[in-house]
Amino acid sequence: PPTPGGPPRGPRARTPPERRRRRRKKPRKMSHHVHGGKAIGAAAIAAARMVVSRTGLTPGGHQRVLRCGAIAIKKGMSMFWDHHGALHPLTILQIQQCHVIQQKVPEIDGYLALQVGSIDKKPNRAMRAETMHAAKAGVAPKRHMQEFYVTPNALLAPGTEITASHFRPGQYVDVTGISIGKGFQGGMKRHGFKGQPATHGVSRAHRSIGSIGMRKTPGRVWKGKKMPGRMGGDKITVLGLRVVSVDHVNGLIAVRGAVPGSKEKAVRVRDAIRMKHHLHNETLDLPVPTRIFGEGDAKESPPLPEVEWTSTEEWPNIFMPPEGT
């Protein structure tokens, strides 16, 4: 029996408070970045990116110049060799019949943007409202329409044509398009699952995804579970594609890398929004608001060559080991 006034004994005896081990709380896992010593949540980062893409104002207070983008037609893919002999994929985009249709102003629409149209429509296939809307800008009704947020110093008058000369070789662009639809696909093609074993106990279920749930707990299938379903046909933006060449005569631009969508489909091309790409573009002195030919001071002197190529001497040599190894 315990001594009077002493601590209790036995398996159920309580440990004195001074000897108890305090459990440390595990830090809550969350997606955040550190900015100025403070943690920023994913929602705040998404909101900041939206502000930068719409107004050009960065969290640090720097005001970017947001130029108008263009609507291009994907013509196909090609390739080229750089200064070091490495092979790179190219996507050919054509900008033709691309005009500014309307200005969106804060006093009326609540934001500042430009409505751009590309590829003329046949008059007998255009509705009366489309014809009258395009006639205000002095152009034909367009097949593809997009809006681009701009800053006041990059506004363009309705009817202004945007050509391939709007972009310069060496700059970075972001391209948005609709990916090729694949229809209803299984888990192996849609998500890259390895499937079931080829032998030993598998009966005609080699490409199935297997179990999708657990036992009584939780007793359901988790939301967002990767399963068979529709694949492709999504709006995808590829960030940071470098413009390799610009054909001023035929209205072609060649970007390094792949662009979503199939041939002869319209894609949206704009200046790159990532900070490192934006800082690189600022060194190229891009034409603001755009490059216009045949209007006094806007003429290029000396005239531009038919095709401009970017220099690849500064590109990293993939055949050499990285520095410091």
Per-residue pLDDT of the chain (325 residues; tens, 9 = 90+): 555 655 556 555 566 666 666 655 555 555 445 555 455 678 888 888 888 888 888 888 888 899 999 999 999 999 999 998 999 999 999 999 999 999 999 999 999 999 999 999 998 999 999 999 999 999 999 999 999 999 999 999 999 999 999 999 999 999 999 999 999 999 999 999 999 998 888 888 999 999 998 888 888 999 999 999 999 999 999 999 999 999 999 999 999 999 999 999 999 999 999 989 999 999 998 998 888 765 544 444 557 788 899 988 888 888 888 776 6
Q: Quick one: which of 188, 192, 56 has its CA closest to 113?
A: 56
Determine contact, residues 266/71, Cβ cutoff 8 Å.
Answer: yes
DSSP at 167: S
Q: pTM to 2 decimals?
A: 0.80
Look-up of token digits 């979503």:
260
Number of neighbours of residue 71 by Cβ within 10 angstroms: 25
Tokens of residue 271, six digits: 């200046």
Element (H, E) at 113: strand 113-120
> Phi and psi of 20, rounded to 5°?
-70, 145
Rounded to whole angstroms, how far apart are CA atoms 297 and 35? 44
